[in-house]
Amino acid sequence: MKKIFPKSLKKGDKIAIISPAGAVEQSQLEKGINMIKSKGFEPVLGEHLYTKFSNGYNYAGTEEQRTKDINWALNDPQITAIWASRGGYGCQHLVEKLNLKGFAKNPKWYIGYSDNTVIQSYLLKKGFASIHGQTIKTSSFGVTDESYDLIFNILKGKALKYTLKSNQFNKDGNVEGELVGGNLALIYALLGTKYSFDFKDKILFIEDIGENFYALDRMMMSLEMAGVFTKIKGLVIGGMTNMGDEKENKQYEESFDEFAYQLISERISKYQFPVVFGFPNGHIHNNIPLIIGADVSLQSGKNVSLTFK
């Protein structure tokens, strides 16, 4: 399926801000909303952006309210991009209720990460690229200006090329393919469903936060048993933040958790595809954006790079 990339934005265009998953406070979005204005765009707030609904988790509204907001943003012809306020949990509630009738006529960038991986997997199944990048909410570990500036570069139609430091766990090789993936827990949660990514001949990106090491291994085992590692052409690993038991494993509370990387490296050791560890995307301070659905060139060796075509 040929991938559809939304058109570039121009000054004055409207960007919808919605909360498809966890609840968020107004004060947590003020900086991001002002940033959108400063870049010359008009933020348009979803009706239930600041709604709270507690049902075992603090959601940004009921399933019906969150569905209403995302379908409004997807289909309103005046909206040119959609930016998630945050992740958390809840996007799986919406995926079977999404309406792309208007969106298909007027594709727009969807921006988010973490739980938003579910929405991005859905869009890619329908043939639409999206931006796996920083949400509007600033997290406890902060957000760099570069993280946002690069998103605006994508919105303006500029190409991406990243050069990286080599990592001890990398596996050498050069490969080209379509980039898929996002948050590992959600990739794992979608396995076996019709909303799962198609992994054949793809370059897979994964990142995660707050998982016990055994849970990380369990997810990697599930990907292996599902045949994912026999299908992909390359693997990129981003942030692995606050992994393991935080009280007992303080030495591993880094964005690029070395023990998590070791576990991943061991799990994929028998496969021959190139692997790049330490990509700056995920639940980390410098969360630079990726384009899910884009064709990329991955180089792993003395020189490490990810180039978007």
Residue 115, domain CATH: 3.40.50.10740
Which band of pLDDT confidence, cut at 50, 70 and 90, is reported for residue 142? confident
Domain end (from 120, 155, 190): 155
Helices (H), the chain: 30-38, 63-75, 101-105, 117-125, 145-155, 184-190, 213-225, 228-231, 258-267
The pLDDT score that the predictor gives to residue 140 is: 67
The pLDDT score that the predictor gives to residue 254 is: 65
Helices (H), 39-98: 63-75
Please, are residues 120 and 182 in contact by the beta-carbon 8 Å criterion?
yes
pLDDT of 245 higher than 80: no
47: how many CB neighbours lie within 10 A of its CB?
Answer: 12
| Residues 200 and 239 both lie in one domain | yes
Please, are residues 72 and 61 in contact by the beta-carbon 8 Å criterion?
no
Three-class SS state of 295: strand
| Residues 149 and 166 both lie in one domain | no
Catalytic site positions? 114, 207, 283
pLDDT of 253 higher than 60: no
The pLDDT score that the predictor gives to residue 138 is: 76
Domain end (from 155, 173, 207): 155
Integer-rounded Cα radius of gyration of the chain: 18
The pLDDT score that the predictor gives to residue 282 is: 96
| Residues 150 and 217 both lie in one domain | no
| Residues 190 and 295 both lie in one domain | yes
| Residues 77 and 175 both lie in one domain | no
Please, are residues 213 and 244 in contact by the beta-carbon 8 Å criterion?
yes
Average pLDDT over residues 154-178: 97
Of the candidate ranges 1-5, 159-163, 269-273, 281-285, the one whose mean pLDDT is the lowest: 1-5
Average pLDDT over residues 36-61: 98
Average pLDDT over residues 62-90: 98
pLDDT of 252 higher than 50: no
CATH number at residue 258: 3.50.30.60
| Residues 113 and 203 both lie in one domain | no
Instruction: Write the Ramachandran bin of 64: left for phi over 0, alpha for psi from -120 to 50, otherwise beta.
Output: alpha
Q: Which domain holds residue 217?
A: 161-308
